[in-house]
Amino acid sequence: MFEDLREFIAKAKELGELKLVEAADRDLEIGAITEWLASLPNPPALLFDHIPGFEAGYRVASNLFDTMTRTALVLGLSPQGSPKELILEWRERIKQGHQLIPPVKVREGPVLENVQLADRVDLLAFPAPKWHEEDGGRYIGTGDAVIVRDPEEGWVNLGAYRAQVHDKSTLTINIERGKHAELIAKKFWKNGRDCPIAISCGQEPAVSIAAGTRLSWGMSEYGYAGWLKGKPVEVIEGVTTGLPIPATAEIVLEGELLSPEKELRSEGPFGEWTGHYGRGRFQGKNLVVKVRTIMHRHQPIIQGAPPLLDRRSQLASIIRKSAELWNELDRNLKGVMGVWFPTEAGGSPVAVVSLKQHYPGHAKQAAMLMGGLNPYVLKYLIVVDEDVDPTNTKEVLWAVGMRSDPETSVDIIRKCWDSGVDPAIPPQKRSQGDFTHSMAIIDACKPFEWIDEFPKTVKTTPELMARIKHKWEKIL
């Protein structure tokens, strides 16, 4: 497992999966190049240097985890595995349980190579990109890890929230309603205190993965990152907040998160993970962070993870979520052969479950259970037969087209949990604070009542294909 972001970038270079881009402007060029190369079948990781207007060595990285190979590397899985193989491998790993490994405090770390305090703080020294054409500003935090500590219970939470630069010492940050960081901040605010906060803008892959993982209340993502690595994450004590900071982080911003009653600033719009622009959650405004300290390594790297239409940057999250839900389904239902969230559909709004049917209503039961386990932003839940690979979008669409009937195969469930950035929420519902949506269940399985009479497919059986591959793979 990798000790810092640079070690991962070096590994990508060794594999021939890194492209160095020099002299790209941070105003749209870095973002457009990121989007362009992310659309390739095997997108390289990108490292931007010699950015006009900034000191050489002040760099930006993007498309870091956009291939199965690099995703497997950060999860400690087989680098050559297919999506389904990686899910199966992760299933076996998590069946052994998450044995959290708390971080270990150290006195020194590369993040302390440069420390700016008080009036010396200057966010504008970093080449934070304008990622999308209509973005309302430049975002230093897209692939970040935001750190807060519960003032009553003492545990430390990490999350991933976008952060926009406003001036030398001011950021806005978008933390959605109900997220752990907001619930923790409210405990400070109700007592008239600002919430101490630290934002890491480039960190070792295990910490990045953990920051984007939904854990139970009170469970620190640092412990989860330690479990991923197999050893503790090294942290130093924050200079002004006392918060635990990744010792090998690239850039860390420390300060206070102000309450919405104290100050809000215009934020966005920003090109969100939905593939549409979204604005700050407070009617176009958002929470303010006053930065008191900046720590950074020599030649720092901003870790970029701008949302794009194809969510391949979220492959690690999708593999983990698919495996965890498959295990949960298995505890309650027999016959589940696979789970997947297609990146082409944004990763969260569409889920596919592959099922070997055993009785009438089996497919509907699987769908209802899956919908209950994972309702957040899920709009289309598709159930297919066991001969359809849920990770193969072409096969899934073929099953929807050939094995379902709109009149009898589709059911609608209303009032499901949604996100405030969902562009399909009507203005009237949004103004009422009604962030819910409906979910369609599509039964794209062969009708069980006459499954034996359903025409056979032309797809070669797995047994024959295995024999063909064994005989011919060296030649072909």
Contact 90, 61 (CB under 8 A): no
Residue 376 located in a structural domain: yes
Mean pLDDT for 205-227 is: 94
Residue 473 located in a structural domain: no
pLDDT of 148 > 80? The answer is yes
In this structure, the answer to whether residues 150 and 249 fall within a common structural domain is yes
The CATH number linked to 248 is: 2.30.110.10
Question: What are φ and ψ of residue 90, in 5° steps?
Answer: -70, -35
And the tokens for 470? Answer: 């064994």
**What percentage of the chain exceeds 90 in pLDDT?**
76
Residue 198, pLDDT score? 98
In this structure, the answer to whether residues 369 and 248 fall within a common structural domain is no
- Count CA atoms closer than 13 A to 195's CA, side-chain side: 31
In this structure, the answer to whether residues 394 and 293 fall within a common structural domain is no
Cα distance between residue 55 and residue 114, in whole Å: 15
In this structure, the answer to whether residues 259 and 344 fall within a common structural domain is no
Sequence-separated (6 or more) residues with CB below 8 Å from residue 109:
234, 236, 245, 246, 247, 248, 249
Residue 178 located in a structural domain: yes
- Using the 3D structure, point to which of 264, 285, 303 is the last residue of a domain: 303
From residue 410, alpha-carbon distances to 364, 380, 407, 446 in Å are: 10, 10, 7, 14
And the tokens for 55? Answer: 């000191």
In this structure, the answer to whether residues 277 and 348 fall within a common structural domain is no
Run of H or E residues at 22: strand 18-22
Residue 455 located in a structural domain: no
Q: Please count the other Cβ atoms lying within 10 Å of the Cβ belonging to residue 65.
A: 26
The region of weakest confidence among 21-25, 319-323, 399-403, 459-463 is 459-463
In this structure, the answer to whether residues 48 and 105 fall within a common structural domain is yes
pLDDT tens sequence across 220-271: 999 999 999 999 999 999 999 999 999 999 999 999 999 999 999 999 999 9
Residue 475 located in a structural domain: no
Q: How is 403-465 classified by DSSP, letter by letter?
A: H--HHHHEEEEEEEE--TT-TTS-HHHHHTT--EEEEEEEEESPPGGGGGGSPPP-SPPHHHH
Residue 194 located in a structural domain: yes
In this structure, the answer to whether residues 282 and 412 fall within a common structural domain is no
In this structure, the answer to whether residues 293 and 341 fall within a common structural domain is no
The CATH number linked to 342 is: 3.40.1670.10
From residue 451, alpha-carbon distances to 357, 359, 445 in Å are: 9, 11, 9
Cα distance between residue 8 and residue 64, in whole Å: 9
pLDDT of 164 > 70? The answer is yes
Beta pairing, strands 104-105 & 234-237: parallel
The region of weakest confidence among 166-180, 184-198, 264-278 is 264-278
Structural domain containing residue 436:
333-446
In this structure, the answer to whether residues 340 and 286 fall within a common structural domain is no
How would residue 375 be classed by pLDDT, with cut points 50, 70 and 90?
A: confident
And the tokens for 126? Answer: 């970093």
And the tokens for 184? Answer: 């923790």
The region of weakest confidence among 4-8, 59-63, 457-461 is 457-461
Cα distance between residue 443 and residue 380, in whole Å: 11
Residue 314, pLDDT score? 81
pLDDT tens sequence across 313-357: 788 889 999 999 999 999 999 999 999 999 888 778 999 999 999
Residue 335, pLDDT score? 95
In this structure, the answer to whether residues 238 and 348 fall within a common structural domain is no
In this structure, the answer to whether residues 130 and 257 fall within a common structural domain is yes
Contact 314, 62 (CB under 8 A): no
Q: Considering only residues 46 and 277, tell me which one the structure prediction assigns the higher pLDDT.
A: 46
Q: How far is CA 323 from the centre of its chain?
A: 15
Mean pLDDT for 172-179 is: 92
pLDDT tens sequence across 395-430: 999 999 999 999 999 999 999 888 777 888 888 888
How would residue 311 be classed by pLDDT, with cut points 50, 70 and 90?
A: low
Mean pLDDT for 155-184 is: 96
The overall average pLDDT reported for the chain is: 93
State how many domains the chain has: 2
The region of weakest confidence among 41-55, 280-294, 317-331, 461-475 is 461-475
Contact 254, 295 (CB under 8 A): yes
Residue 424, pLDDT score? 84
In this structure, the answer to whether residues 272 and 370 fall within a common structural domain is no
Residue 325 located in a structural domain: no
Q: Please count the other Cβ atoms lying within 10 Å of the Cβ belonging to residue 18.
A: 20
Residue 36 located in a structural domain: yes
Cα distance between residue 371 and residue 376, in whole Å: 9
Q: Which amino acid is located at 159 in the chain?
A: G
Contact 240, 254 (CB under 8 A): yes
Cα distance between residue 68 and residue 395, in whole Å: 19
Mean pLDDT for 113-126 is: 96
**Which residue has tokens 């620190």?**
220
Residue 315, pLDDT score? 85
Contact 43, 34 (CB under 8 A): no
The region of weakest confidence among 92-101, 392-401, 442-451 is 92-101
Contact 234, 206 (CB under 8 A): no
| Residues making up the chain, counted from first to last | 476
